[in-house]
Structures are given as structure tokens and as C-alpha cells.
Amino acid sequence: MTQYKSDLLRLLSERGHIHQLTDAHGLDTLASEAIVTAYNGYDATAPSLHVGNLASVMLLRRLQQAGHKPIALMGGGTTKIGDPSGKDESRKLLTTETIAANIAGISQVFHRLLDFSDGPTGAVMVNNDDWLAGLGYIDLLRTVGPHFTVNRMLSFDSVKLRLDREQPLTFLEFNYMILQAYDFRELALRHGCRLQLGGSDQWGNIVNGIELTRRMNAIELYGLTTPLLTTADGAKMGKSVNGAVWLNEANLPSYDFWQYWRNVDDRDVGRFLRLFTDLPLDEIARLDALAGSEINAAKVVLANEVTRLVRGDEAAKAAEATAAATFVGGGLGQDLPTLAVGPDGIGVIDALIALGFAASRGEAKRLIAGGGARLDGAAISDENHHIALSGAEVRLSSGKKKHAILRPA
């Protein structure tokens, strides 16, 4: 492991956040001598960020923990175009109203994880639509365009991958890298921002911003990327069998969020504790060394700590209590997903689909045929089984890890 002199790079290195650095020595020296202002950008394509975004948000948190100033950049302007990085298809264009609503949603997690109080290290949130919306396109191209060559733009992985797969890349998306580079320059001039953070797929865009600002303003900037986060079995973080693992409560119940972390692969526990919690490293080493069934205790700690950071202490306590009641006590945890059932009852297949336990009737039938559908712990063997509630709640389960409460409407 590289030895750094600054608290910032030592912390990021110890926690496993560093993948690439544009100038490790220069940034290390700067961070050891002054407060560094750094940013990460988030396009407003959905009303919530997901687990795949959490590593970059934690980067901003680590930055502030090390005594530096984070900027959370909302991509109100760039969302109108779409980042082709890591995408096979063009992004659906959103209305201005939808983008504004999405920004309001995704900003929630930053207020939990960052300190926005006044002071030299207080976090700030800005929107790149504030400067991009006012740019005349011709003026922008005349000012910035000469610093980019199409040859080099075509060499970036975000472009090459789309072209190699013969997927359309619109000219609108092709301009995204120019606007992101302009963002870095604008933040350097407006806020004294010297560092851009991002995922490994953003490396080319970050380098563009560094070079543009050096050519136009002779300001030295830096870039740092995190590793591409995948689980031990190779899956991309942020997804589950039931879809995205959203950070906001409105998009995913806290119990399901807690369960995502409780069910991670044994091999991921130590790495995720370093990346996504504030636990001391010696305590993480102890938990990571647990073997056999004892590793489950470390997973509960992981689930509690991440849920506490992202959703709050009460959400973490409720989720753990629900898990204990459901798995240990065999009862009905109050934080489980619920489905209201009318007086006429509901078919088991319809219930499984409504709860997201099955994506189709065929999938629900296969679940039942395999003995995976259970009502209050008893297997349901008849796909035509009708669930009628007599004033009491019942628990519907899919396998050993998915449970929900059916309640009288």
C-alpha cells in the first residue's frame, strides 16, 4: 500500500476508496498543506440514488472527515443531455420539472451523510444548470471546442464501447464530456475546487476537465477515482433480484435496504465495512476475521451501520427488530413490507406478484411448485390457493429471506 503523508489520502487508501490518481504526489502535498475543495457530480435521472452511488457519496464524507470541503454537484444541466459512460442506449430525455423533482429526492442522502454548516469545511450543494443554461451553444463551442479533438474523444471507453456494440451514440450525448469538463473548470473558478472525485468510468471525463482548465486558466487540478464496485460473485452493486437498491425510504422500505446488506456474500463483509461504515479499522478487522456462522454477526453489524448512516438510527433499529422477530422468533416483524387484502381475499399468485416476490405469473407458479411460497411458515402447494384473512395478519414468504405481512384492508 502506498504511503501518503496527508490524512486525506491515508484515510481513502486505508478504506479502499482509491483506484486512480492523476497526480498522487501533487494532491498528497496539497492535501497536507491546505483545505482541498473537491466535488462529485450526480445527474438527476431518478428520484433517488442507489447503492451503486453510495461509494461516491462516502468519498465526499471521507473528504470532510479528513478536514476538507465537499461539493455535491447536482447535474440539472447535464441531465438534459445524458452521460454515455457505461450505457448501451441513449438516456430518455426528462422534463425540467422531473429533473427538479429528482434533484429534491436525491439531495436527501447528502444531508444525512454530510455537514452543511457554515465554515471552511462545510459542504455545499450546487446545480450545474446555473451556468450551463446560460451558455450560448455557439459561444461555448468557440470557447471550449478548440481544446478538444474528435480523435481523442473517440478514443474514450464510454464512446468506443457504444460504437463497438453498434449502439447509437447521439451527437447530444457526444457533447457530455465537454460539458463535464466545463463543470470542473467552472467549479475551480467559482469555488476554488481543485479535485474531482468519481467512479472509474469517469476517468476520461475527469482528465478532460483537468486539461481544459490548465489550458484555459493555467490552474492545476486533480482527479481521483474509486474502483468499479462489484460483489464477490461479479455482480454490479446497486442491483438486486427485485431491482435497484434505492437509498431513499420512499423508493425502498428500510427493512429491504437492511436485508440487502445482511445478505451480502461472506467475502464482501470486510470490504463493505471499510467502504460504507465509520467503524474503526481494528474493529472491522476483527469482524472480517469471523468464520463460519459467526460471520452472520458481522453482517448484522454491516446492515445496522449502513442503514443508520443512510436512513437514520430508528430505521436501523426497526429493521433489526423485524429481522429478529421474523427469523428468530417466527413472528411478524412490524417493519416488513405489507399488502392490504380486501374482504374477498387474494390469490397467492397475485399476492406474490404484488409484493415483488415474482415478476410474472409463470415465475410465481415455479416458486410455488418448488416449495418456496409459504404462509405463516407452511408451504403452499396449490397455485390456485386463495388467501382469506379473518381479521388477523399473516406472513407470506418467498424462500427463507423474503417476507411480507398481509393485513386486512
Q: How far is CA 7 from the centre of its chain?
A: 25
- Per-residue model confidence (pLDDT) at position 178: 86
Q: Closest Cα to residue 68, out of 9, 2, 112, 22?
A: 9
pLDDT at position 190 is 97
Distance (Å, whole) CA 351 – CA 405: 11
Which triple of cell numbers denotes residue 190?
Answer: 467559482
Residue written as cell 388477523?
A: 392
Question: Which residue is listed with cell 461479479?
Answer: 234
CATH top class, domain 338-408: alpha beta
What pLDDT is recorded for position 207? Answer: 94
Tens digit of each residue's pLDDT, the chain (409 residues): 679 999 999 999 999 999 999 999 999 999 999 999 999 999 999 999 999 999 999 999 999 999 999 999 999 988 887 655 545 455 567 888 999 999 999 999 999 999 999 999 999 999 999 998 888 765 776 777 778 777 777 777 767 777 777 776 766 677 778 888 999 999 999 999 999 999 998 898 899 999 999 999 999 999 999 998 888 888 878 665 556 899 999 998 898 899 899 888 999 999 999 999 999 999 999 999 998 889 989 999 999 999 999 999 999 999 888 887 765 544 555 567 778 888 888 999 999 998 888 888 998 899 898 888 887 667 888 889 888 876 667 778 888 778 888 877 7
Q: Report pLDDT digits (tens) over 360-380.
A: 899 889 989 888 888 766 788
Q: List 402's β-bridge partners, or say none.
A: 398
Residue 246's pLDDT is what? Answer: 94
The pLDDT score that the predictor gives to residue 88 is: 46
**What is residue 250's DSSP assignment?**
T
Domain 253-328 -> CATH class: mainly alpha
Domain boundaries, the chain: 7-226, 253-328, 338-408
The whole-model pTM stands at 0.77
* All three cell numbers of 362: 409463470
Looking at domain 7-226, does it have CATH number 3.40.50.620?
Answer: yes
Instruction: Name the E strands within 44-119.
Output: 69-75
Q: Outline where DSSP puts E strands in 185-328.
A: 195-199, 222-226, 239-240, 243-244
* pLDDT of 1: 65
DSSP state of 193: -
Residue 267 DSSP class:
G
**Residue 208 is which amino acid?**
N
CB 383 within 8 A of CB 338: no
Per-residue pLDDT of 182-236, as tens digits, reads 999 999 999 999 999 999 988 988 999 999 999 999 999 999 999 988 888 888 7
